[in-house]
Amino acid sequence: MAGRGSAASRCAATRQGTDRDTDENTMGATGSVHQTRENHMSVMSENSAEAPAIRPFSIEIPEAKMEALHARIAATHWPDKGTVADHSQGVQLATIQKLARYWVADHDWRKCEAKLNALPQFMTEIDGLDIHFIHVRSDHEDALPLIVTHGWPGSIIELLKIIDPLTNPTAHGGSSSDAFDLVIPSLPGFGFSGKPTTTGWDPPHIARAWTVLMKRLGYTRFVAQGGDWGAVITDVMATQAHPELLGMHSNMPGVIPPDVEKAIQSGGPPPSGLSDDEKRAWKQLNFVLTNGIGYAIMMGTRPQTLCGLADSPVGLAAFMIDHDAYSYEQIAHAFDGHPSGELTGDEILDNVTLYWLTDTAISSARLYWENKFSFFGVKNVSIPAAVSVFPGELYQTPRSWAERAYPNLIYFNELDRGGHFAAWEQPQLFSQEIRAAFRSLR
């Protein structure tokens, strides 16, 4: 997770994807507006006469575009097999070939498309850029508005399985008093949101845009949640003194003390006096920031050089699934026929296919270049904050660090399963955490 500077420590309603070759130039848009009476009424209720338009949105991928994708996968020029038996050199040839075979023979994008189109999706322009988002209102009274932000290489797809548990908690073992109105936006340059054509769409800009979005939807009080980039943006949002933001939750919090981060950057030993939990976190972070984020260093310094990701779907898939060792293992198992957790091969390919069809491999990468924040560092959050620690996350947050980073820590819990993509892998457990985290703020 690298930003533009120190690479080791910082980590339209209808849009047309960039055409990749002559055969695809006539395939049309990746999405098109489809207005229904139900969506129209919802939009009317959310839109004042003075506010910028909120437009219903649905997805209709031309079949020719799908055929071109499958042809490119079939024509992949494969590398040699690695010289080691494990994945220490990166994505293993056998794993990516299994993924590619499944992609062509068994994966059905239309199922994902139908699932997305069954949800209330919208577009609205903020600061000259179209922002795509899902907005599901709960049927329960006094539902708490919540904006959830995804990360890279994720998307709205990694959050789909938490929508019903959060908006309809009584159907999932929860109480009606735990209900949320849920807003899930696509980050700028990701999915169906617009692609920035100038610099400046960094985490603070996105955080401000999210507050504009929530207020535009009529919410005068709300909470925010995020992991990966969503964690950074949620942290930053919490520092911007928006009176509407009641509290935040992170499943990958920014809590590294400055002295610890400085020691990792220098390559020196850990600071003295660390507890056992802090020493464990030190070791994990030292590995992540020095050995485990090659993808982020590249995106944070030379995103445009990754043009091959816009040309090869298999190259894009390999780059995306090599995020961290725990997640890679989950993904490899999904294509071996031995999935652990609830992450399936179809869901993994839904996500990769979304990046491909919207041609957002490079536009999403530029967020790393834009970022100036320490990815895991303290952001000086003072509002009520909650933290859930999943065992497969890049590092396990010590409670002591969380208490220092978030002086108004209202909830802290360590889980026994789940990793970096916790909402994807363990949606019921993740949803329970969100309910518990914000219960005191209702």
The burial of 141, by beta-carbon neighbours within 10 Å (0-12 exposed, 13-18 middle, 19 or more buried), is given as exposed
**Given 178, 202, 228, 359, the catalytic residue:** 228
CA–CA gap between residue 331 and residue 196 (Å, rounded): 31
User: Of 431, 353, 321, 350, which Cα lies nearest the Cα of 115?
Assistant: 350
Residues 230, 184 contacting (CB under 8 angstroms): no
Clarify whether 420 is annotated catalytic.
Answer: yes
**Given 219, 368, 395, 406, the catalytic residue:** 368
Residues 442, 141 contacting (CB under 8 angstroms): no
CA–CA gap between residue 245 and residue 222 (Å, rounded): 5
**Given 132, 205, 323, 420, the catalytic residue:** 420
CA–CA gap between residue 390 and residue 397 (Å, rounded): 9
**DSSP code string of 29-84:** -S-B----HHHHHHHHHH--SSSPPEEE-B----HHHHHHHHHHHHT--PPPPPSS
Residues 377, 254 contacting (CB under 8 angstroms): yes
Residue 59, token pair as written in the block: 């997805």
Residues acting as catalytic residues: 228, 368, 420
